[in-house]
Amino acid sequence: MFRPQYNEDPSSPTESSLATSIFESPSHSVSDADKRAAQIAKWRFSTLAANVDTKDQYGASSTPIYQTATFKGVNGEYDYTRSGNPTRGGLESHLARLYGAYSAFALSTGMTCLDMILRLVKPGETVLAGDDIYGGTNRLLTYLSTHGGVDVRHLDTTRPELLLPHLGGGNKVTMVLLESPTNPLLKIADLGEIAALVKSRAPNALIVVDNTMMSPYLQRPLHLGADIVYDSGTKYLSGHHDVMAGVIAVKDEAVHKPIAFMINSVGSGLAPFDSFLLLRGVKTISLRMDRQMATAQLVADYLDALGFLVHYPGLKHHPKRDVHYKQATGAGAVLSFVTDDKALSERIVGGTRLWGISVSFGAVNSLISMPCMMSHASISAAVRAERGLPENLIRLCVGIEDPRDLIDDLEAALLSSGAIIHNLSYSPQNPTKVEAIFDTDPSKWILERAKAFRRPGEESAMARLVQGVKRSLGMSATERKKVEGEVVVSAPGKVILFGEHAVVHGVTAIATSVNLRCYAALTPRSDDKVALEVPDLGLEMAWDIDSLPWHLLPIQVEQSGSSRRLADKDLDAPLLEALEEVVKAGNVNVKSALGAAVAWLYLYMTIAGSEAEAFSATFTASSNLPISAGLGSSAAYSTCIASALLIAHQSVPTPSSSFTAEETNLIDGWAFLSEKVLHGNPSGIDNAVSVRGGAVAFTRAIGGRAGGLEMLSGFESVRLLLTNTLVGRDTKTLVAGVGKLREEEPEMVEGVMRSIQAISDEARGLLGAGEVLDRQRLIERLEALIKENHSHLVTLRVSHPSLETIVAATSRSPYNLSTKLTGAGGGGCAVTLIPDDFDQASLEELIEVLRRDGFEPHLTSLGGKGAGVLRNEEKDGAGRVVGKGEDEGVGMPLRAGLRGVGREGVGKWAEGLGEWVFT
């Protein structure tokens, strides 16, 4: 005789026949039927579901509806539809295969199934059931206990150990009735563990599982130790809410027989037409459920991201997620959430248009309900309260609609009800961008979508309070990543030697690094804070890491071609605005300090990529570069932030000799992003020079012409006097002034632009790999070009009396030096080339003259090194750099020295630290 195999995947337990008689247990002959069964046993669920294995007398593809009450007794197989009907029989054979069951029965409703099953329990016996169960189940169990003499006990089935006191001893437990997930709180019971536990202590007790939430597609309890499983066929099995039905599937003949007897005696078998509908619906179950589940996950993620307490086993933090996925292959398409306010829940439910307000679930259209008022209304309010079923609970049953329409509708209802409000840190132009993400990654889309809103009121305040208390107790809310040792970096400033202003109009500019630099240390700490110290700006701030707006982090688009995460091209407006608020909340409003703090936090968060990757550290930066003088101090600062963070995150290792081109480009990309935070729309030339050092020729892409950046490698260092006029100026106004002049006098300005392009072209040749001149001739040509370029800048009206004073002082005898403004002009700095043979005494005298005139001269040189990192040789046994955190007891962190030496001493301090490696 053929016996079913209870394997992992659905087996083929019954012989393929159009009908299964309920009078007798299925008997099967070894032969073709067994061979076919063996073949079917290999099929996966969706193949089995779509192929109904019937043997109709006419070969009908779709099982015919035998709409007849009686039969004339051909072969004695059927006599009366209550006892057996070919349409129902075909359905039952098909269902048995899907459940991996010994046999299956199709009944008029799910509740009829439970009724038939509960008739196996006798008065005086005990049934154990969950404390979160469907209202109809609770009602029938209550009736049985009040009218049938059955002892019904409700327990929390998520804790198998709670069953123990009820098993064995004087207890007469003959049935354990389980739901997993439960309806409506989606709690998870470990079906296998409970079955084993019950069987070990009460071997005769039957394990019964209501599997309606999952269907056999996702969970097959008979394979987990259950004896009987039943489903409301009205739900996922039929899928269209056009038929009421129930299905019982059993493990063996011993259970089959009494249930078959009862169904025939009572006449609860499913009618032929309804059997046809159920059979038709079940063929598509896997398709429907896959789609419904995928959308349910999005809806759950969305509500979760908005801060609602959501019950759904697909959520990462569902308390029994692991148990669920041990016994089921998916999370299903029902979820519930609480609002903490019944009236609010009513407004949400009433505010939806697409979600139908209805009981039931599993159909192709989505439904919304309040269980306490609907599916679970038959449980008294007192019992609901006792069992922890919130009156404000909303249950969502997700259908196959487009997820975007469902979210639109739900979002509108949440908004109109006041359950969520707009997140003002979110820029309103983003929805289109967000919509586009849906096609490539719906789960990222949903999280981005949730960023636009937040829940008003208590909950977040409460969460903040809890976190505050935790912090005050010295408890960390999150296990933090640690920075391994202190990271010390530096990066140079730059001067634009030729082509400033003209570069805005597409002319090539030549910029070189200077040996004035920004220095910075990233020092580990262990108090869950991230801090910033820029003593030059009077900036000293610290933030709790978990108080930062991590939820606004831009979506991380998969990047091909690099194992490292590259910087985004554009700034994320919501994050930027939120960080400005964060910094302003610390009473920092001065533009330079505000920018420095926001740039630091922006890179700190985006390079980490998530709060989980963030570490606790202090970033300390100081620079001997004049600030806001057109010398690229912000680019040097940005380069320091980028390189320190990338090294700390081990995206860039501290090299033994120099950085690779890929590492250099990576640092440049992130430094450019920081420059965007600081300047809005920078050209990129400053960070390019700061990261790479040396000299570059930079042409901005403009009017369809390609731009470019060329490193000028043949360049040897030249001495330079950089004189700060200390006259503040506004770059934007000066750039706009040249633009206006171009409109008013186009020919004149075009002529100047052409001349400056010629200067830059010649300089590119001199400093690059072009014409090789002897050193003296090179300096002479550069001096001539400096003078010429300055005169053009005067013509463009961007000079300033203070700059002209410096030009005059340096060009007069006995100095005879060439000077030009650098950068935006209108004040700022002037650069004076110092030939190799210029005598030291004259130089010192000139510096004194300039000082007396109220200027601030710095002797420096052109074309120094780019970004650098201090090689820390101190390693521990595992080869890691020894940490010098605030509290690691390994001596003073280097940042203390960096703060202590002041701007003038910082260069010397850095030199004395040890060996540096540069890009």
Ligand X SMILES: N[C@@H](CCSC[C@H](N)C(=O)O)C(=O)O
Candidates 9, 36, 82, 153; catalytic one: 82
Residue 472: what are its φ and ψ, rounded to 5°? -65, -25
DSSP one-letter code for 612: G
3-class DSSP string for 158-214: CCHHHHHHHCCCCCCEEEEEEECCCCCCCCCCCHHHHHHHHHHHCCCCEEEEECCCC
In whole angstroms, the minimum distance from the beta carbon of 484 to ligand X comes to 54
Contact between 359 and ligand X (CB under 6 A)? yes
Nearer to ligand X by Cβ, of 54 and 345: the residue is: 345
Indicate the SS3 state at residue 822.
strand
Quick one: 78 or 361, whose CB is closer to ligand X?
361
134 given a catalytic annotation: yes
Rounded-to-integer distance, Cα 354 and Cα 296, Å: 15
What are residue 333's phi and psi, to 5 degrees? -130, 20
Using CA atoms, how far apart are residues 740 and 751, in angstroms rounded to an integer? 15
Nearer to ligand X, 154 or 742 (CB): 154
- Residue whose structure tokens are 């998520």: 158
Within 10 angstroms of residue 375's Cβ, the number of other Cβ atoms is 20
Q: Are 820 and 725 in contact (CB under 8 A)?
A: no
Q: Nearer to ligand X by C-beta: 135 or 693?
A: 135
Name the residue nearer to ligand X (CB basis): 393 or 906: 393
Q: How many CB atoms lie within 10 A of CB 468?
A: 12
- The 3-class SS string of 557-578 reads CCCCCCCCCCCCCCCCHHHHHH
Quote the DSSP letter at residue 269.
B
Residue of 42, 7, 12, 25 lying closest to 252 (CA atoms): 25
The 10 Å CB-count burial string (b at 16+, else e) for 583-611 is beebebeeebbbbbbbbbbbbbbbbbeeb
Cα torsion for 865, 869, 875, 878, to the nearest 10°? -110
**Which residues face 368 on adjacent strands?**
357, 396
Q: Are β-strands 246-250 and 487-498 bridged in parallel, bridged antiparallel, or unpaired?
A: unpaired
The reply on whether position 378 binds ligand X by CB under 6 A is yes
AA letter at 561: G
Residue with Cβ nearer ligand X (286 or 375): 375
Where in 575-732 does DSSP place strands (E)? 617-623, 695-699, 708-712, 718-724
The residue (of 360 and 658) whose beta carbon lies closer to ligand X is 360
Give the Cα-Cα-Cα angle 259, 263, 268 (nearest 5 degrees): 140
Token duo for residue 900? 């202590």
DSSP structure class, residue 529: E
**What's the closest the beta carbon of residue 63 comes to ligand X, in angstroms?**
27
Instruction: Identify the active-site residue in 66, 134, 312, 602.
Output: 134
**CB of 112 vs ligand X, minimal distance in Å:** 12
Catalytic residue among 151, 210, 528, 668: 210
CA geometry: angle 258, 259, 260, nearest 5 deg:
90
From residue 363, alpha-carbon distances to 209, 254, 333, 398, 702 in Å are 21, 34, 10, 8, 57
- In terms of C-beta density within 10 A (0-12 exposed, 13-18 middle, 19 or more buried), how is residue 720 classed? buried
Per CB under 6 A, the list member of 84, 136, 574, 684 interacting with ligand X is 136
Least distance (Å) between residue 249 CB and ligand X: 18
Question: Given the complex with ligand X, which of 375 and 690 has the nearer CB atom?
Answer: 375
Tell me whether residue 82 is one of the annotated catalytic residues. yes
Report which residue's Cβ sits closest to ligand X: 375
Q: Report CA Rg, the chain.
A: 39
Task: In angstroms, give the least distance from the CB of 70 to ligand X.
Answer: 33
Tokens 């040249």 locate to 738
Residue closer to ligand X (CB basis): 370 or 803: 370
308 binds ligand X (CB under 6 A): no
Stretch that binds ligand X, among 148-156, 358-366, 780-788, 886-894 (CB under 6 A): 358-366
Q: Judging by DSSP bridges, how do beta strands 356-357 and 334-338 pair with one another? A: unpaired
Q: How far is the CB of 241 from ligand X (least distance, A)?
A: 11
* Piece of 2-10, 39-47, 162-170, 354-362 that binds ligand X (CB under 6 A): 354-362
Helix (H, G, I), strand (E, B) or coil at 369: strand
Residue from 46, 360, 651, 795 binding ligand X (CB under 6 A): 360
Query: Any residues with CB less than 8 A from the CB of 203 and at least 6 apart, and which?
Result: none
Shortest Å distance, C-beta 569 to ligand X = 49
Closer residue to ligand X (CB): 139 or 326:
139
Minimal distance in Å, beta carbon 482 to ligand X?
49
Residues 227-266, interacting with ligand X (CB under 6 A)? 232
- Closest approach, Cβ 361 to ligand X, in A, equals 6
> Binding segment for ligand X among 173-181, 355-363, 442-450, 888-896 (CB under 6 A)?
355-363
Extract the runs of DSSP E, i.e. beta strands, from 274-313.
Answer: 309-311
Q: How many residues bind ligand X (CB under 6 A)?
A: 9
Smaller CB separation from ligand X, 232 or 292: 232
Out of 88, 97, 187, 235, which one is annotated catalytic? 235
Residue 618's nearest CA partner among 477, 521, 519, 484 is 521
- Of 378 and 440, which CB lies nearer to ligand X in the complex structure? 378
Task: Please report where in the chains the tokens 């001269």 appear, as a residue.
Answer: 857
- Cβ proximity to ligand X, 281 vs 737, nearer residue: 281
Q: Are 395 and 369 in contact (CB under 8 A)?
A: yes
Query: What's the closest the beta carbon of residue 227 comes to ligand X, in angstroms?
Result: 22
**Distance (Å, whole) CA 349 – CA 374:** 12
| Per-residue CA distances from 758 to 227, 498, 712, 751, 787 (Å) | 90, 10, 17, 11, 14
- Kindly indicate which of the ranges 34-42, 356-364, 584-592, 693-701 contains the residues binding ligand X, using the contact rule CB under 6 A: 356-364
List the one residue from 71, 134, 236, 426 that touches ligand X (CB under 6 A): 134
Residue type, 805: T
Q: Which of residues 162-201 bind ligand X (CB under 6 A)?
A: 183
User: Shortest approach of ligand X to residue 331 CB, angstroms?
Assistant: 17
Strand order in the sheet with 173-179: 103-107, 246-250, 228-232, 206-210, 173-179, 126-130, 151-155
Residue 341: CB minimum distance to ligand X, A? 22
Q: Which residue of 112, 182, 295, 375 would you call a contact of ligand X, by CB under 6 A?
A: 375
Min separation Cβ 183 and ligand X, Å: 5
Q: Which stretch binds ligand X (CB under 6 A): 44-52, 154-162, 357-365, 431-439?
A: 357-365
C-beta of residue 583 within 8 angstroms of C-beta of residue 594: yes
Residues annotated as catalytic (active site), given as ranges: 82, 134, 210, 235
- Which residues of the shown chain bind ligand X in the complex (CB under 6 A)? 134, 136, 183, 232, 359-361, 375, 378
